[in-house]
Structure 1
């Protein structure tokens, strides 16, 4: 399977969809280091994006950006911490659809509101997610995986470290007609260790966290979770294409500040992030870890959250998942 670092299509898409930027150096400047909170562990896909973006954002705003990983409770621990932070631009939240689309439907009780408690700063782009299996699973493609899963006594053991993992595997099991039990993990690297070790059969995971294992043969990628093939891995079929008709799960990544952060601050930070993700070398680096840059400012990110909340609620309901 070819794993290109970057296709021309991906590069052009990342540039064409980027919002117009203001001149470098304009706007708000930090008075002290900015903390960029990531709701997943080091080694996760979101953490990989943060490690690329944070030092470049620091250059743009003329300050220091420090990454703080706060995993746990499907990202809710980090979300609550950011929601309660001082709204002055010095605390930012690089997060995903897990905390800001899916958690209200997945969790029986959450101590934050993804709309009311946050000020959108910038959309960054989309990570590509894959269905992967460990080396002991005999399946080489989606059809053989489903056939194997249907015949496995006790069903398939799955892992989840985010909303795609929870909702995706439940949806696949329902559409394909096999039994699956999903175990929640605090972090994607921990879950991948158990998939590779044969304690877990399969999971849905982003390219960023899994690519190294796939290249070295410790994991086998069977399909992408979006309806269409990913420009980042064009040789890999989608689950829909592999006759799991209707399967379509996409993730997104964005940056938020606590609600009440002044508009001139979120605007300056959003402009800075868009400028960073407009740079061709940055687009290429992100594509190399399985992330498609689609930068946009606060208003498009706010609109995305509003659209995605009811969509994820319906997907959770259709998958038959009971809130925990």
Structure 2
């Protein structure tokens, strides 16, 4: 039996052995899923898809509540301050729980102390992409070019993953790289396609079509393994960053003190969500990857990535004004 199977059996056993969930009748009214980013992005889509599954499984609406601002901090703070009764949850991208503590000293919450990890919702690779006309075919060539002349790379702003990945590449290679922030990743990719900047480390959905149609070239992907959507593209760890496997993930959290029986039931349903054929089909269309984790595994993943990003932020001197 695999470790994941053992963990899930343990969670299920705890659920069956605890009558509190059945006695409480949870959920007996709609559950609010706070989404700390604007509608229309990957987090919105994942929250809606998982909410639809949870509604079907648990019999109550799981309604997205968009609380945007401060890099996701406002939404996270709202959940940190909510009652731990299972009616307010947080669906978030990893950076809110791993990056923001290092970037925002006054974020208004502690990502470890103030939340109960529940489980993973999805993973997604980011792609180191360049304009197809740039005379490089791999990361080694990009680094060599960056040692000859400054390279420009775009992002959606200071402190977002595209910025931090660019700073990480600059730190480990010594290449000359200048950050060019935009109001959103879409405009950055548009400028890359036009050839007005040299590089973007973008989430897979934002560049997959451009790569497939030859306008952009993919040099590497983030995460611990190659992406099923670009299996021919190596990971950063395979190329110039051995051991670096930090990638983008999406997780579900509750406030601190969420009852174990509710945590276990939600985690069980997230495992079913990841295994659902319709979900996998929809994820494939969106270039998302299904993912599962026990609450303990999610907490460990969060701690590992937080330490990695904190070191990069410190060494690169990244500051949010």
TM range (shorter): 0.7 to 0.9
User: Which digits, 9 at most, give the CA deviation of each residue in 1:181-203, with x for residues without a partner?
Assistant: 33455644454344445554322
Cα 1:85–1:227, aligned 2, differ >3 Å: closer, same or farther?
closer
1:313 is the counterpart of 2:310: yes
What is residue 218 of structure 2 aligned with on the other side? 221
Q: Which runs of 5+ in 1 are unaligned?
A: 1-12
Q: What is residue 231 of structure 2 aligned with on the other side?
A: 234
Confirm or deny: 8 A CA contact 2:152 2:180 kept in the other structure: no
Cα drift, residue 284 of structure 1 = 4.1
Is the 1:29–1:62 contact (alpha carbons within 8 Å) kept by the matching residues of 2?
no
Q: CA deviation at 1:33?
A: 2.8
Query: Is the radius of gyration larger for structure 1 or structure 2?
Result: 2
Contact 2:127 2:202 in 1 (8 A): yes
Q: Distance in 2 between matches of 1:38 and 1:194?
A: 28
From 279, 282, 285, the counterpart of 2:282: 285
Q: Aligned ranges for residues 191-210 of structure 1 at < 5 Å?
A: 191-198=188-195, 200-210=197-207
CA distance in 2, matches of 1:18, 1:287: 26
Query: Residue 79 and residue 282 in structure 1: after superposition, are their counterparts in 2 closer, same or farther (change >3 A)?
Result: same
Equivalent-residue separation in structure 1 for 2:301 and 2:239 (angstroms): 28
Distance 1:269 1:243, change over 3 A: closer
2:33 matched to 1:55? no
Please, which of 110, 113, 118 is the counterpart of residue 113 of structure 1? 110
Once residues 214 and 17 of structure 1 are traced to their aligned partners in structure 2, the CA distance between those partners, rounded to angstroms, is 40
> Out of 156, 165, 168, which is 2:152 matched to?
156
**Partner secondary structure for residue 321 of structure 1:** coil
Q: How many residues align?
A: 309
CA distance in 1, matches of 2:109, 2:269: 27
1:19 aligns with 2:8: yes
Aligned match for 1:260, one of 257, 269, 286: 257
**Contact 1:95–1:255 (Cα < 8 Å) also in 2:** yes
Cα 1:278–1:83, aligned 2, differ >3 Å: closer, same or farther? same
- 1:44 positional shift: 2.9
Root mean square deviation, CA, Å: 3.3
1:146 to 2:143 alignment: yes
> Counterparts of 2:229 and 2:63 in 1: how far apart (Å)?
29
Relative to 1, partners in 2 of residues 1:131 and 1:39: Cα closer, same or farther, differing over 3 Å? Answer: farther
* 4+ residue segments displaced more than 6 Å: 15-18
| 8 A Cα contact 1:71 1:187, kept in partner | no
Q: CA deviation at 1:16?
A: 6.9
Paired residue for 2:273, among 271, 276, 280?
276
Q: Partner residue of 1:180?
A: 177
TM-score, reference length from structure 1: 0.79
TM-score, normalising length: structure 2? 0.80
* CA distance in structure 2 between the aligned counterparts of 1:297 and 1:221, rounded to whole angstroms: 32
Matched, 1:250 2:247: yes
- Check conservation: 1:29, 1:63, Cα contact below 8 A: no
Instruction: Note closer, same or farther for the CA distance 1:159–1:53 as it changes in structure 2 (3 Å cut).
Output: same
